[in-house]
Structure 1
Amino acid sequence: MAPATDPQQADVIVVGSGFGGAVAAARFAQAGFSVVVLERGRRWEPGDFPRRPSLDDGWLWQVDHGLYDIRWLGGMASAQAAGWGGGSLAYANVFARPFDQMLDDRWPLHMRRGALDPYYDLAAHMLEVTPTTDDPRTGGPAPRTALIEDFMARSNIPEATARPNLAVTFGDPDQWRPNVHGVPRRGCAFVGECVLGCNHGAKNTLDTNYLAVAEAAGAQAVTDAQVDRVERRDGGYAVIASTPTDPQAAPREWVAPRVVLAAGTVATTEMLLRARDVHRTLPGLSRRLGEGFSGNGDFLTMAELRTGRKAAAPPEDLRTGPTITTNVGHGLPRGQRVRLVPGPGRRHPAGAA
């Protein structure tokens, strides 16, 4: 490896621009610290996200440093977003607080709902969350929203369904207007492409809120910078990064007394394991590092809508609306609960099962 360029100084280095990194960058910068945010991916603007059905169109990090980094981890698959805004570029926008029963006496007091609610409130303000509205083009709910709400209204637990809070801007889909952070947004067009990257400019991704606040407060954004090495130096830390789009470029180096590693669960763990076991620059890290991974407890399944073979016309298009528009909570024994969050469907021909 070529020698790194002369190190640049900062008070705080933040590695990654997803939810953890964006919040840390904003709050450190607002507090007056000099902040550098290192992000391996690019800035994605409305209209930049890939849509052609070709893997070399910006879909995969492994192909052309595209949006998705897919990792196979034994019996688990991980899909990570690469870009300024991290996972917010490709998540389904849902802002859900855990049920009170989930944070019971097994959790310390400072991590229960009573203590966390003010921070949920603050995050909700920053992300400008709101429940799904009706489709401005039709004046009614998305067909799959109506389908679930009508179904649950005829059940024995009609109160169990709700429209979840989403980090999406609703309103006129044709008019740009600044959000509370001064970043132009326009209303959701109900095209159902949230997890593919919002080309319309309605999704409240982190580049439009926390990261915008960080940059306005003086944080320096460095994209196309993949952190390869973290080491202790002179009472602080040195972070060395390569340039993914130019493998021949000399490594770049930053030094700071504080480093926030927020590159996602997989990439952050990978960096720490490399520092402990390969470079041996952070030998004191726990031997449990990398154990106990979980897939958020999610269970994904598919269901087919049966329309009946005598249907006179095809059902309405179930693909419209944000990715998730309804939320059904079912009670389980011992106070546990499970959420069912129907996602986008597909259109069926008349009479098809």
Structure 2
Amino acid sequence: MTYDVCIIGSGAGGSPVAYELSRAGFSVVVLEKGKEYKEDDFNKDELAVSRRELFTPDLKDEQHVIYELDESKERRRYLGSDYQWSFWNGSMVGGSSNLMSGYFHRMKPNDFKLLSTHGEIEGANVADWPLSYEELEPYYEKVERIVGVSGEVVAHSFLEPRSTSHFPYAKLEENGVTKWFDAACKSLDFESIPTPRAIIPHAALKRHGCSYSNFCGSYGCATGAKGSARAALLQKCDARVITEAFVYKLESDATKVTKAHYYDSDMKTHEISAKIFVLAAQAIESSRLLLNSKNRFFPYGLANNNHQVGKNLIFSGGGAGEGRFRFETLTHEQQKELMEVGLFFNRSLQQWYEYKKSSKKIKGGTIDFLFEHQNLVPRIKRAFYDEEGKILWGKALEQKIHKELTTSRVLNFEVFNDWLPTDECFVGIEEEVKDKYGIPVGAIHLYSHPRDREVGDDLAKKAVQVLEKMGATEINYSISSAPPPNLVAGGCRFGENPKTSVLDKNCKAHALDNLYVTDASFMPTGGSVPYTWTIYANAFRIADILRKRLES
């Protein structure tokens, strides 16, 4: 059988295409490397998630080789299995969208024209998108309705243009401490905004509402309230999903992809033929697959005769910080508010999405505030040492754990700003290191532009001001060049010039007539927000383009 469309990967980049085209009557097959889990399979097994990496591959079987370039230009090599350095996210139907926290901010209009707005930056390969915010806006709105985004639209300095005046789902229930945050921001003349979430507050879209367990990030959602690609899209469409199918090669002639070759769980090989192939395996793995798919027409890797596949890999710049609130400094009413279980702390700051520094206009970013994860394993690990750094045992440890968990609480913040694309950050192939399938693994070359950390530090200092005003203690933050593995993009950037980009405006490979890439690989710059909403929106856009092509 030859399918109309073969999709490699079932996450936020692939599922909208499967959803739209299968519902339109086309034959669609999805090849997913991981297993299928449903709501009944998800629970709050903290050891499985915190200590055993239940949803990601064993690094002994599948890994990456990492090359880290520091500021002195010295490059160090790390074998992922030796250093337990993993760049895997969620290997399952729906991909890492199952495990996201669901912080959904739209990119801003200037994110699509970073070069035009802010000019060239030395040492960075900044480029404008061949797409405008206005062209993508209808698809942001579509994601709100179909995937389910809750929140409240409030006026602020960088509120993006919207075709609707409100979110389709009311904001989630909030912890009382948000009142302290709002008051602190008001006194500082900061603009507090509710954080949009890809979580529905009540039963809708044939899914249950949020149970307020506070186990969102890194955990699958047992109610289906979280807008994962699986719960929101794949479980509602007619696409055929083949699980535990590792695609190791795309076969092509000079102009078209003809087959996808994959291994099943028994290490047996299979092939799929289709009219159109959509690659959405996650930015690093999509580049790796193309680079490993060499043939006589593409000796450097599929769609890579211009040597651009894998280039301009980006993550999210920024970092994180925290402050602790202790009962000793709070009223009885404040203590009750602080310890309210499960309710969200959905607050963000975008007042410095762009700002001036030394009379120069700088691209800034987003600060999200959230309570420390409900997961007890990392929270208890904090209590292992006394104030002098000596390890605690027995009764002393028991008392400290009890006090930390019952009479104090940590408020975290996360900073999101652009990770500038550079020549030094890219994906290659490590020919000498192979995975369990015998396929060369991806080589991830890491480098963070100094501007990334400078901006992250500026934003973190604003967050610290809020925590101080709220009365938090033990405040600290870290802005570093360490990349967040769950926020990765680039490698197959789209653009109008075939010499400097892999894909055209419609995310079709310049060099092949029927290959599209719809995960975050297409992004030439990442904006200053988490990527998932934009990946979803763009994939819905490409689905419309493919539908018209198949109908013609």
Shorter-chain TM-score: which interval? Answer: 0.7 to 0.9
The aligned counterpart of 1:344 is 371
Q: What is the TM-score with the length of structure 1 in the denominator? A: 0.78
User: Which range moves more in the overlay, 262-271 or 231-240?
Assistant: 231-240
Work out which of the residue numbers 71, 85, 103 in structure 1 matches 2:112: 103
Amino acid in structure 1 at the alignment position of 2:213 = V
Work out which of the residue numbers 351, 363, 366 in structure 2 matches 1:330: 351
The aligned counterpart of 2:6 is 13
Q: Can you give the 5+ residue segments of structure 2 that lack an aligned partner in the other structure?
A: 69-84, 118-126, 152-169, 374-403, 409-472, 475-552
Work out which of the residue numbers 6, 30, 33 in structure 2 matches 1:40: 33
Work out which of the residue numbers 300, 317, 326 in structure 1 matches 2:339: 317
| 1:101 CA displacement | 3.2
- Comparing both structures, which one devotes a greater share of its residues to helix? 2
Quick one: structure 1 residues 125 and 151, their matched pair in 2 at CA, closer, same or farther if it must change by over 3 Å?
same
| 1:283 CA displacement | 5.1
Amino acid in structure 2 at the alignment position of 1:94 = Y
- Counterpart CA distance in 2 for 1:343 and 1:318 is 14
The aligned counterpart of 2:532 is none
Query: For 2:350, what is the secondary structure of its paired residue?
Result: strand
Structure 1 residue 266 corresponds to structure 2 residue 284: yes
| 1:307 CA displacement | 3.5
Is the 1:72–1:78 Cα contact (8 Å) retained in structure 2? no
Is the 2:6–2:276 Cα contact (8 Å) retained in structure 1? yes
Is the 1:17–1:38 Cα contact (8 Å) retained in structure 2? yes
Is the 2:5–2:275 Cα contact (8 Å) retained in structure 1? yes
Amino acid in structure 2 at the alignment position of 1:126 = I
Structure 1 residue 154 corresponds to structure 2 residue 187: yes
- Counterpart CA distance in 2 for 1:122 and 1:189 is 25
Work out which of the residue numbers 201, 209, 213 in structure 2 matches 1:170: 201
Query: For 1:266, what is the secondary structure of its paired residue?
Result: helix
Work out which of the residue numbers 48, 51, 54 in structure 2 matches 1:58: 54
Amino acid in structure 2 at the alignment position of 1:273 = L
The aligned counterpart of 1:5 is none
Query: For 1:227, what is the secondary structure of its paired residue?
Result: strand
Q: Deviations over 1:260-311 (max 9, x none)?
A: 11011011111111113899595552312212211133x2212122437455
Aligned runs of 1:114-133 on 2, under 5 Å? 114-131=134-151, 133=171
Amino acid in structure 2 at the alignment position of 1:168 = I
Aligned runs of 1:231-270 on 2, under 5 Å? 231-232=251-252, 236-244=257-265, 246-247=266-267, 250-270=268-288
Work out which of the residue numbers 96, 100, 116 in structure 2 matches 1:87: 96
Aligned runs of 1:64-83 on 2, under 5 Å? 73-75=66-68, 78-83=87-92
Amino acid in structure 1 at the alignment position of 2:16 = V
- Counterpart CA distance in 2 for 1:318 and 1:64 is 41
Is the 1:163–1:327 Cα contact (8 Å) retained in structure 2? yes
Q: Deviations over 1:136-158 (max 9, x none)?
A: xxxxx22453442232233212x
Quick one: structure 1 residues 343 and 78, their matched pair in 2 at CA, closer, same or farther if it must change by over 3 Å?
farther
Quick one: structure 1 residues 241 and 153, their matched pair in 2 at CA, closer, same or farther if it must change by over 3 Å?
same
Query: For 1:11, what is the secondary structure of its paired residue?
Result: strand
- Counterpart CA distance in 2 for 1:96 and 1:267 is 25
Query: For 2:251, what is the secondary structure of its paired residue?
Result: strand
Quick one: structure 1 residues 123 and 178, their matched pair in 2 at CA, closer, same or farther if it must change by over 3 Å?
closer
Quick one: structure 1 residues 197 and 63, their matched pair in 2 at CA, closer, same or farther if it must change by over 3 Å?
farther
Aligned runs of 1:285-300 on 2, under 5 Å? 285=304, 286-297=306-317, 299-300=318-319
- Counterpart CA distance in 2 for 1:281 and 1:337 is 37
Aligned runs of 1:144-223 on 2, under 5 Å? 144-157=177-190, 160-171=191-202, 177-179=203-205, 183=206, 185-195=207-217, 196-215=219-238, 219-223=239-243
Q: What is the TM-score with the length of structure 2 in the denominator? A: 0.52
Aligned runs of 1:20-39 on 2, under 5 Å? 20-39=13-32
| 1:18 CA displacement | 0.8
Structure 1 residue 225 corresponds to structure 2 residue 237: no
- Counterpart CA distance in 2 for 1:337 and 1:61 is 35
Amino acid in structure 2 at the alignment position of 1:269 = S
The aligned counterpart of 1:303 is 322
Q: Can you give the 5+ residue segments of structure 1 that lack an aligned partner in the other structure?
A: 1-7, 136-140, 172-176
Structure 1 residue 142 corresponds to structure 2 residue 163: no
Amino acid in structure 2 at the alignment position of 1:241 = Y
| 1:88 CA displacement | 1.1
User: Over aligned residue pairs, what C-alpha RMSD do you find?
Assistant: 3.3
Quick one: structure 1 residues 169 and 153, their matched pair in 2 at CA, closer, same or farther if it must change by over 3 Å?
same
- Counterpart CA distance in 2 for 1:20 and 1:296 is 18
Q: Deviations over 1:181-213 (max 9, x none)?
A: xx3x22212222112221233212112233234
User: What percent identity do the matched residue pairs reach?
Assistant: 18
Quick one: structure 1 residues 236 and 229, their matched pair in 2 at CA, closer, same or farther if it must change by over 3 Å?
closer
